[in-house]
Chains A and B, each alone.
Chain A
């Protein structure tokens, strides 16, 4: 096998990609480009504006009556035709793709509309009325554990859905005898690699055969196929799942399309026609899938020299509102290498999984790695700080030694190959660490903020399908039977003209699989790349696949390309046997070159490849005895190293373990707090490189996403669970201007466990770069407690001292809106009116007056003396929406004070607020004072956050302004703001 990749071969050469000509000319075939049946209808989804609420009633009649609408489905309609999705832990919960009696996160599907096109479908969404009874939401994973926290799933009785503790070696003893115990606490935020193409599904149902046929830009793992088929209540062979030829990126995210596969399939069944759904960006950001946020406390037992003798992990994983398959895999994916690049023999782990009112989590590039390494590599830097050592020395002291591979980690992982010391030495030398240190010294001497950070990371690839069962106790595992391995599969087919087709179940998302496979197979068969065609579309009813199929865990180069190479090898062997008889030589002397099959010792003695290859079609009788056909060869390959978890919870969670070492120099602007990455070096050992250009692309692409995670991106939630980053203007993906160019270095130690010696490479920087940048920022600022994303505002917040007060006290205090993004508005005001207190009081209780003073009210109904319902149109600028408002009066002290509590609900979102109104007698009448607190959620909060506070203030101001006017007075507000504002908002007749 070592001959592969040799000079002159195709493997390892940066050839142009087969994929590109089509993609560059607009001829890609992504899901939304595929032809569909003429009667295909379009699906739109009504989503919850609330993070937590009971669904009291859904009225769909008006939507259904709209011309062009074929079907409207609620959660109950879906439930009637499906079963709850499988949950990966033993727990008394159900997991539905659409809300039934309760919504648990903003964006959760509540109803489905099938209509002739997406425009009409969205028109119909507007006509569905849902009555919610809001519940308190919990978004913070630690708060979700509190005894009095609202419980998301009553059947579970708690939000803690799973807990397991593990011990490897003797951590207690190591900590008891440790010279130092050093710990760190990390809250890793939510983010996502958000591909530019969103989810898409085309679904069809055949009632005659009770079978579903779905095309989706799903990326695998195809273990999820089982989840889908079960949920749809059909055997696997009646759930045909196909993937389109092209996909606009996934990075793990498109695993999360599967609940929509179920929804679209059911919708097609009910509507009696094919249904197509293309997710829009709002839906994607709000509700597709997110990486987990995690609170980690990590403690190390350390010798005075900086040797780490034990680690104690306490991880609290937040999987959002439902534990969706394959979660809690994010927490267990790294289980075999919880010690990173270090030889640490004693490890204690407590893993807890908690549910909160946020979007359910799933696969995301780096999958579990960013969370682990942020804690581990920050801790290593902290150890260096506390022991006054150089962080690089602490890293070096603890590395797995170069002669120890394959190295069995404390938690059961088997590190296949590596030479971490040399890779680090080379990175420091070739990456210019000394220059960087000089730059830091100069910068600091000039009073500038400059820091250097490092990160050493082991990047696992080719997941063991059994690792997730580590979440079960050994007893539970015993009962369930062993789970392990990772079948990869490749097929080589030869047609009657002797040309070669390769089929794999790798579901590429832009990584150029077709090119690499053509390279590998062409080289094995002595053909030009053009002579080999590769098909990567997957069809579960026709192709060879397994639960491990798909594009995740960086398994392509290591496993899938390897399987293709094995399949090509088998075909080659047989072709050699066939050719040998015709060439009159022994098959050992048969060579494959330039489209010919020839005698190694006499190249003139040759046959055309096509002729030999086609003989199985045309003249099967001429095949030598014992030689099988060469029409079709399918190879399944699963590495023996991927064993099931041991009785003591040891798990080799991945087959390959690459190595990354990063160095980063940053400068922080003293005034703006902006981080500038001055220099970034990333050293990779990904085993044998099959295509340098593509490896480069994977590294740079992952790096850019990691820069986003480090500095810009966060799925932000308000304290009430409202989602705040619903547009790409708020979820900040780096542009070219924010993306520095790293120096990429390679140090190859081929994996002994994979057919081609390759390892995965796509995810490493998502694990190493966020913490490397954070380490550099911590070094620059001289602080320990840094949090992602490292926004300028946050950074200046860590640095700044007392603020200079204004020279004279301010009239109105600046509004105190909750710091952590909580969207609470507070405000106050007052007005002098000529009416008496009693008269004003009466107005507040009179629906007619309320109608006149509630901004945009069309109708006010009195439900009881203290309860009113209103229909209002509210807006600012072009933004306008109709809402239902509910107003209750309480704490009434007639005629002095009353509390108005209200909620509004409409297509654009919802608002809640309370205001205390006090009436004071004055010489000329009454002074009305008011003070309010309000929160806004739903769509407006997600997409218009930046513009929202002002809008709400205006509306609330209008109410009191109108009240004052009604009571015969003018508001005493600065610069007549409200008066001028009234003009565009005046109610229309």
Chain B
């Protein structure tokens, strides 16, 4: 692969929410900016651009990661998933999202997409995640509105639901 010049845009190909995308970006373009401003998926939020707040969290190859600490060029060939892909269809909420609504797990909603992306990975990998594991995953996110309690309740309720779902499917 040749050295990519700073002054020009260069192609990057990856999978975004299940679809192949191909865009041209400057080397310095952050994944958060690419998603929001080039592609137009504004569900991923930006709150600090230094990795602490968690608002920009997306899934890269199935793992929660900070879009603000990822150069667009670093996701070439990767599978990126954002909050826009969480619900099965636009008119329906996933069990996790629905639990957030039921338990008032959000107020301003700015931190929420990032939190959903982290919890979604956790609950997919550990459907019987307990309060401590949920707190551990949540600790990478700052929420200024809720005081977190309702988020934990929502996550626990979603875990319950998913376990039930799994049982009926099994």
Give yes or no for direct A-B contact (beta carbon below 8 Å): yes
Binding site for B on A (CB under 8 A): 14, 16-17, 19-21, 23-28, 30, 32-33, 119, 193-198, 246-249, 251, 280-281, 509-512, 693-694, 696-697, 699-705, 727-729, 733, 735-737, 739, 741, 943
Q: Is the CB of A119 within 8 A of B26?
A: yes
**Chain A residues with Cβ under 8 A from B111's Cβ?**
196
B143 within 8 A of A: yes
Contact of B108 among A21, A197, A741 (CB under 8 A): A197
Q: Mark B70-105, 1 if CB is under 8 A from A, else 0.
A: 000000000000111011001001000100111010
A40 to chain B, nearest CB (A): 11
Q: Chain B residue with minimal CB distance to A253?
A: B144
**Chain B residues with Cβ under 8 A from A741's Cβ?**
147, 149
Q: Is the CB of B84 within 8 A of A728?
A: no
B22 within 8 A of A: no
**Chain B residues with Cβ under 8 A from A728's Cβ?**
48, 50, 52-53, 142
In chain B, positions 17-52 with a C-beta closer than 8 Å to chain A are: 26, 28-29, 36, 41-50, 52
**Chain A residues with Cβ under 8 A from B108's Cβ?**
195-197, 246-249, 509-510
Known: A248-B45, A700-B147. A19 touches B109 (CB 8 A): yes
11 contacts between A and B (CB under 8 A): A17-B101, A20-B101, A24-B112, A28-B43, A196-B45, A249-B108, A281-B53, A701-B107, A705-B144, A728-B50, A729-B50
Known: A24-B93, A248-B109, A249-B144. A30 touches B45 (CB 8 A): yes
**Chain A residues with Cβ under 8 A from B126's Cβ?**
none
Known: A30-B45, A703-B147, A728-B50. A249 touches B142 (CB 8 A): no
Q: Chain A residue with minimal CB distance to B43?
A: A26
* Top 3 A-B pairs, shortest CB-CB distance: A26-B43, A510-B108, A248-B110
Q: Is the CB of B104 within 8 A of A193?
A: no
Known: A20-B106, A737-B139. A729 touches B101 (CB 8 A): no
Q: Is the CB of A25 within 8 A of B86?
A: yes
Q: Is the CB of B148 within 8 A of A704?
A: yes
Within the assembled complex, what's the spacing in Å between the Cα atoms of A696 and B150? 9
**Chain B residues with Cβ under 8 A from A27's Cβ?**
43
**Chain A residues with Cβ under 8 A from B29's Cβ?**
119
A116 to chain B, nearest CB (A): 12
**Chain B residues with Cβ under 8 A from A700's Cβ?**
146-150
**Chain A residues with Cβ under 8 A from B138's Cβ?**
735-736
Q: Is the CB of B145 within 8 A of A25?
A: no
B72 to chain A, nearest CB (A): 12
Q: Which of A697, A699, A729 has the most CB of B within 10 A?
A: A697
Q: Chain A residue with minimal CB distance to B148?
A: A736
B163 within 8 A of A: no
**Chain A residues with Cβ under 8 A from B41's Cβ?**
26
**Chain A residues with Cβ under 8 A from B63's Cβ?**
none
Q: Is the CB of B149 within 8 A of A197?
A: no
Q: Is the CB of A25 within 8 A of B43?
A: yes
Q: Is the CB of B147 within 8 A of A32?
A: no
B152 within 8 A of A: yes
A283 to chain B, nearest CB (A): 11
**Chain B residues with Cβ under 8 A from A19's Cβ?**
109
A121 to chain B, nearest CB (A): 13
Known: A26-B82, A196-B47, A249-B107. A16 touches B90 (CB 8 A): no
Q: Is the CB of A32 within 8 A of B142?
A: no
B64 within 8 A of A: no
Contact of B101 among A21, A197, A704 (CB under 8 A): A21
Within the assembled complex, what's the spacing in Å between the Cα atoms of A32 and B148? 25
Q: Chain A residue with minimal CB distance to B108?
A: A510
Within the assembled complex, what's the spacing in Å between the Cα atoms of A696 and B148? 12
B138 to chain A, nearest CB (A): 4
Contact of A735 among B106, B112, B142, B145 (CB under 8 A): B142
Q: Is the CB of B43 within 8 A of A196?
A: no
Contact of B143 among A20, A196, A247, A694 (CB under 8 A): A196
B159 within 8 A of A: no
Q: Is the CB of A249 within 8 A of B110?
A: yes
**Chain B residues with Cβ under 8 A from A33's Cβ?**
36, 42
Contact of B144 among A14, A119, A194 (CB under 8 A): A194
Q: Is the CB of B42 within 8 A of A23?
A: no
Within the assembled complex, what's the spacing in Å between the Cα atoms of A281 and B55? 12
Q: Chain A residue with minimal CB distance to B84?
A: A26
B65 within 8 A of A: no
Contact of B107 among A193, A194, A281, A510 (CB under 8 A): A510
Q: Chain A residue with minimal CB distance to B140?
A: A735
B100 to chain A, nearest CB (A): 6
**Chain B residues with Cβ under 8 A from A21's Cβ?**
93, 101
Q: Which of B43, B104, B111 has the most CB of A within 10 A?
A: B104
B121 to chain A, nearest CB (A): 16
B141 within 8 A of A: yes
**Known pairs A24-B93, A736-B138 / 9 extra A-B pairs, C-beta < 8 Å:** A17-B104, A24-B87, A196-B142, A197-B47, A249-B108, A697-B104, A697-B150, A700-B150, A729-B52
B116 within 8 A of A: yes
Known: A119-B28, A701-B146, A728-B50. A195 touches B107 (CB 8 A): no
Q: Is the CB of B112 within 8 A of A23?
A: yes
B62 to chain A, nearest CB (A): 19
A200 to chain B, nearest CB (A): 11
Q: Chain B residue with minimal CB distance to A705?
A: B144
**Chain B residues with Cβ under 8 A from A509's Cβ?**
108
Q: Is the CB of B148 within 8 A of A26?
A: no
Q: Chain B residue with minimal CB distance to A702?
A: B147
Contact of A197 among B90, B93, B110 (CB under 8 A): B110
Within the assembled complex, what's the spacing in Å between the Cα atoms of A165 and B8? 65
Q: Is the CB of A697 within 8 A of B148?
A: no
Contact of B97 among A17, A24, A119 (CB under 8 A): A24
Known: A249-B110, A510-B107. A281 touches B43 (CB 8 A): no
Contact of A26 among B113, B141, B152 (CB under 8 A): B113
Q: Chain B residue with minimal CB distance to A119?
A: B28
Within the assembled complex, what's the spacing in Å between the Cα atoms of A248 and B43? 12
Q: Is the CB of B109 within 8 A of A246?
A: yes
Within the assembled complex, what's the spacing in Å between the Cα atoms of A701 and B150? 10
Q: Is the CB of A735 within 8 A of B42?
A: no
Q: Is the CB of A197 within 8 A of B45?
A: yes
B117 to chain A, nearest CB (A): 10
**Chain A residues with Cβ under 8 A from B110's Cβ?**
28, 30, 195-197, 248-249, 510
Within the assembled complex, what's the spacing in Å between the Cα atoms of A19 and B28? 35
Within the assembled complex, what's the spacing in Å between the Cα atoms of A938 and B42? 32
Q: Is the CB of A25 within 8 A of B49?
A: no
Within the assembled complex, what's the spacing in Å between the Cα atoms of A738 and B149? 12
Within the assembled complex, what's the spacing in Å between the Cα atoms of A114 and B163? 53
Within the assembled complex, what's the spacing in Å between the Cα atoms of A733 and B87? 30
**Chain B residues with Cβ under 8 A from A693's Cβ?**
104
B66 to chain A, nearest CB (A): 12
Within the assembled complex, what's the spacing in Å between the Cα atoms of A700 and B107? 11
Q: Which of B84, B101, B108, B138 has the most CB of A within 10 A?
A: B108
Q: Is the CB of B44 within 8 A of A26?
A: yes
Q: Is the CB of B46 within 8 A of A32?
A: yes
Q: Is the CB of A701 within 8 A of B147?
A: yes
Q: Chain A residue with minimal CB distance to B111?
A: A196
Known: A280-B49, A701-B146. A25 touches B90 (CB 8 A): yes
Q: Is the CB of A736 within 8 A of B152?
A: yes
Q: Mark B147-164, 1 if CB is under 8 A from A, else 0.
A: 111111000000000000
Q: Which of A32, A246, A735, A737 has the most CB of B within 10 A?
A: A735
A570 to chain B, nearest CB (A): 31
**Chain A residues with Cβ under 8 A from B52's Cβ?**
727-729
Within the assembled complex, what's the spacing in Å between the Cα atoms of A380 and B30? 53
Q: Which of A14, A281, A696 has the most CB of B within 10 A?
A: A281
Q: Chain B residue with minimal CB distance to A741?
A: B149
Q: Chain B residue with minimal CB distance to A509?
A: B108
Within the assembled complex, what's the spacing in Å between the Cα atoms of A981 and B42? 45
Q: Which of A23, A30, A729, A733 has the most CB of B within 10 A?
A: A23
A32 to chain B, nearest CB (A): 7
Within the assembled complex, what's the spacing in Å between the Cα atoms of A25 and B148? 19
B77 to chain A, nearest CB (A): 24
